[in-house]
A and B are shown apart, each in its own frame.
Chain A
Amino acid sequence: MGERLIGLGALLGALAIVGAASAQDVIKARQAEFKEFGKRMGAIKDTVIDKKGGTLADVAANAEYLAGKIPQIPSWFPEGSDKGETRALPEIWLNFADFEAKAKNAQGLAQALVVAAKSGDQGATAQAFGKLGQEGCGGCHQPYRRPQN
């Protein structure tokens, strides 16, 4: 009996360690995804705002990538993944339905950017891009992310 209890304790301890390690992995993995988002947004900006290279077709491709990935965002935030080196705030899990709604909204804005870029209208593309950044990305970055120090 005593041995079994010790065994169970060891097993639970091991699970806890695995759990902690995987929380940090989850954080790392989503940070890599968001870094890629930033890169794509930067590339779109080069074309749309700075007008230094890239075509509207490239913009559409990057926006399509974002529209495809954004719906996954809520799955990158399992409960408890605010513990570790992350700027994710615990408010995410207090308002998870809102968090999901914000992701859905951002996805719609990314799709709108795809449509605008495919139409070939520079002005509409720039507008859709600004909206995606401010309301899409900003939609969560403002309430759910700790400010940078």
Chain B
Amino acid sequence: MSRRFRDATLGLVLGLVLGSGAAAAASPEELARGELLFHIGGCTNCHTAKDGPLLAGGDPLVTPFGTFFAPNITPDPQTGIGGWSEADFLRAMRDGRSPRGEPYYPAFPYTSYAKMSEADLRALKAYLDTIPPVRRPNRPHELGFPYNIRWGLELWQWLFHDPAPFRPDPTKSEAWNRGAYLVLGPGHCAECHTPRTWYGALDQSRAFAGGRLGKEVIPNITRDPDKGIGRWTAGDLRGLLLIGIKPDGDFVGGDMAKVVRNGTAKLPDADREAIVEFLLSLPPR
């Protein structure tokens, strides 16, 4: 064995050891950031069943396309995502593909998560690695024709999935851009608040105009004064994101109650204000 080859091998091994060591030891700041993204991302809303173990798989998500069962995303190596590398995780979140390269259904909102920054995605992965692993096999989705044809997903992704990260608008304020990032990226608000076409893509001409999703009525959150929240003040929106109260003193229910409790209520004030600023700028539809 030549000396050069041996040195190269040693370097490679050292690099691997150091590399994996660096990935395992996330700083407390990175973990805190990952936790915040975990909350705003609402991971638990779909991936945790009612009274079930955290992130070990969710309750059925009933959609017009069929019923989805969000999988186990605890770090369990067999039934969860414990065996995933950081690259696997980035690929799932941005390209909507499993480590084996299979496309995911957009019920998993990678179409929004793809807009997250790489640093945020890494922080989120670091945080997810700290969740207690739970062994719980996944339940297959129950979908009707033609949505049960997996190759259809290849076509769907090719047509409708744009994996480009969020690009700030330099003509807008820093807070607006932060709000836009949180709403369009990790918060994935559009996934419910924007109606879908029959082929399951978001109808951007009706962005944030609400509609129906399964049994739930999804409100219009644009500035339309009658159909949307055009009459709401910044204070009204702040109250909703903080504790879930609506201007009439009633409280949001259903899945939005979870979004508030697990997500928007836990944000730092500055982030909540940023979301308010962005939402109040949505054109009426």
Interface residues of A (CB under 8 A from B): 37-42, 45, 49-50, 52, 126, 129-130, 133-134, 137-138, 141-142, 145, 147-149
Contact string against A for B residues 134-163, beta-carbon threshold 8 Å, 1 for contact and 0 otherwise: 000000000000000000000000000000
Nearest B residue to A52 by beta-carbon distance? B235
Instruction: Scan residues 244-285 of chain B and give those whose CB is less than 8 A from a CB of chain A.
Output: 244-245, 247-254, 257, 260-261, 265
Cα-based distance from A149 to B244 in the complex (angstroms): 19
Query: Which of A37, A42, A145, A149 makes the CB contact (< 8 A) with B253?
Result: A145
Listed A/B pairs (9) with beta-carbon separation below 8 Å: A42-B248, A45-B249, A49-B235, A49-B242, A50-B239, A130-B265, A137-B250, A138-B251, A138-B253
Query: Known contacts being A37-B249, A134-B244, A142-B253, is A147 close to B238, with CB within 8 Å?
Result: no
Cα-based distance from A53 to B242 in the complex (angstroms): 19
Check if B243 sits within 8 Å of A49, measured CB to CB: yes
For chain B, what secondary structure do more than half of its interface residues adopt (helix, strand, loop), or is it mixed? mixed
Check if A38 sits within 8 Å of B243, measured CB to CB: no
Query: Which of B243, B247, B254 makes the CB contact (< 8 A) with A142?
Result: B254
Q: Which residues of B contact A134 (CB under 8 A)?
A: 243-244, 251, 257, 260-261
Q: Which residues of A contact B216 (CB under 8 A)?
A: 147
Q: Which residues of A contact B253 (CB under 8 A)?
A: 138, 141-142, 145, 147
Q: Which 4 A-B pairs have the closest CB atoms?
A: A38-B249, A130-B243, A41-B249, A42-B249
Q: How many residues on chain B are close to A (CB under 8 Å)?
A: 22
Query: Known contacts being A50-B239, A134-B260, is A148 close to B249, with CB within 8 Å?
Result: no
Q: Which residues of A contact B257 (CB under 8 A)?
A: 134, 138, 142
Q: Which residues of A contact B252 (CB under 8 A)?
A: 138
Cα-based distance from A11 to B238 in the complex (angstroms): 56
Cα-based distance from A38 to B242 in the complex (angstroms): 17
Q: Which of B239, B244, B245 has the most CB of A within 10 A?
A: B245
Q: Which of B235, B249, B253, B260 has the most CB of A within 10 A?
A: B249
Q: CB of B215 within 8 A of chain A? A: yes
Q: Which of A38, A52, A134, A142 has the most CB of B within 10 A?
A: A134
Q: CB of B23 within 8 A of chain A? A: no
Q: Which residues of A contact B242 (CB under 8 A)?
A: 49, 130
Nearest B residue to A133 by beta-carbon distance? B251
Cα-based distance from A52 to B261 in the complex (angstroms): 24
Instruction: Scan residues 211-245 of chain B and give those whose CB is less than 8 A from a CB of chain A.
Output: 215-217, 235, 238-239, 242-245
Check if A148 sits within 8 Å of B217, measured CB to CB: yes
Q: Which of B215, B216, B238, B242 has the most CB of A within 10 A?
A: B242
Q: Which residues of B contact A148 (CB under 8 A)?
A: 217
Check if B251 sits within 8 Å of A141, measured CB to CB: yes
Nearest A residue to B250 by beta-carbon distance? A38
| Distance to closest chain A CB from B203 (angstroms) | 20
Cα-based distance from A40 to B248 in the complex (angstroms): 10
| Distance to closest chain B CB from A28 (angstroms) | 18
Nearest A residue to B257 by beta-carbon distance? A138
Cα-based distance from A52 to B64 in the complex (angstroms): 44
Cα-based distance from A79 to B213 in the complex (angstroms): 31
